[in-house]
Every structure is written in structure tokens, then in C-alpha cells.
Chain A
């Protein structure tokens, strides 16, 4: 089955700096790679996703890049703000067939220092 590894487990940045979180996946058949943000006491919420026919996607201050050959993808947050502090999870799945269930990385706790 799929295995997703995520690094780093914790990340502390100063407000206004950039943050980068990296993930690798094992199943070359995976073609959907979402990123979720989890705030304390809440369920994960989708912030951005990318499919394997795309190399990069941006949405305001966040962007995701995908390298299919190397089987890794990354989340980039620019101009970080205190409200970006949360746990971020990467995930991988097949979106077009089968169970479409997400396999999650172990999470990155991001702290943005004011």
C-alpha cells in the first residue's frame, strides 16, 4: 500500500518568513496530493491540492509543487502570519478509481512567532 513520509515534524519561523514542508510517497499510481491544516480541537481542513498532471499550483500565499519522477511534493507558505500556526498534513491517493482513501503523512507542527 501507499506510504507517505513528511518532514519536518516541527517548524518554527518568524512572522513574514517562508515555511516549507516536504513529503515523499511510495506508490507511483497515486495521482492526487492534498494538504490539510488542522487547528487545535478541530478536524483537518483542505487548504490546497494538486493532481499528477500538474507540477505546481498556487493560491495566494500558499503553493504546492510536485515532482512525479522523484515521488515528492512540497507545501510552501510565504509571508507567514500567526494564524498560519497549526498542524499541516500531506496526503496521497488515487482520485479516479478504487477507494479514493487518503494516506496521510505524520504531520508538521508549524509555529509562527510574532
Chain B
């Protein structure tokens, strides 16, 4: 099983550019999440989704957008990249049932210069 797959692994953006971070899971999980991890810090929730067509904001949503058209995919869009968005981004999924283990992707390291 691939689990949670994130692409790309690394990316350098210039200030003001846009990009989409891709996330796909093959476990048929209902719940999907985007977190960012800044150096020496824990993970902060950006957006989450409880199922296809349903998304909601987390703690730090400003500067980001998401969509969930299918159960498998949960892309994160950055519009007008800023240096403050330099971080490592993790996508995660969980079944949303009594089995609550969250499975994480390998992360995308993004640098905005």
C-alpha cells in the first residue's frame, strides 16, 4: 500500500508565485488534513476535510486554499507565496471511525525566496 503520497518533495518558490501541493491516499479514509511544521515547532493545522465536498479551516488557514472533489485527493493551493509560508507541509488521513490512527505523508519542503 502506498498510504499517503505527497508531491513534490521539495520546491523553491519566488515571492508572489502560486503552486499546488498534491496529496493522495489509497486507504479510503474519510478525513484528510494539511499541517505545516516550522523549525523546532509542532505541527499546525491549516485545513481539513471530513469527506468529499466538505472542507473547513484549521488554526492557520490564511494564504491557503483547499478542495476535496474525491475521497482520495486533497490538494493545498498557495496563492501569492510569502516568505512566512516557508515550512514543511504534511498531509495526513484517518478513517474517522473508532480507528483513529493518523497516517502522514513524507512531507513537502517549501522555501519561498
In the complex, the answer to whether B42 meets A106 with C-beta atoms within 8 Å is yes
Given known A-B contacts A99-B56, A100-B31, A49 and B100 have beta carbons under 8 A apart: yes
Interface: A54 (CB within 8 A)? no
Total residues of chain A contacting the partner, CB 8 A: 25
Find A99's partner among B4, B41, B50, B105 (CB 8 Å cutoff): B50
Contact B106 A42, beta carbon cutoff 8 Å: yes
Chain B contributes a number of interface residues (CB within 8 A of A) equal to 27
A residues near B42, Cβ cutoff 8 Å: 4, 6, 89, 104-107
Instruction: Write the A25-47 contact mask toward B (1 if CB under 8 angstroms, else 0).
Output: 00000001010000001111110
Q: Does B80 contact A (CB under 8 A)?
A: no
A89-B101 CB under 8 A given contacts A1-B59, A42-B106, A99-B50: no
Interface majority SS (helix, strand, loop, mixed), chain A: loop
Q: Please list the residues of chain A having a beta carbon within 8 angstroms of any beta carbon in chain B.
A: 1, 4, 6, 9, 32, 34, 41-46, 49, 89, 93, 95, 99-107
Can you give 23 contacting A-B residue pairs, CB < 8 Å?
A: A9-B40, A32-B100, A41-B106, A41-B107, A42-B107, A43-B107, A44-B43, A46-B101, A49-B101, A99-B31, A99-B48, A100-B31, A101-B45, A101-B58, A102-B33, A102-B45, A104-B35, A104-B42, A104-B44, A106-B40, A106-B41, A107-B40, A107-B41
Contact surface of B with A, Cβ cutoff 8 Å: 4, 31, 33, 35, 40-45, 48, 50, 56, 58-59, 90, 92, 94, 96, 98, 100-102, 104-107
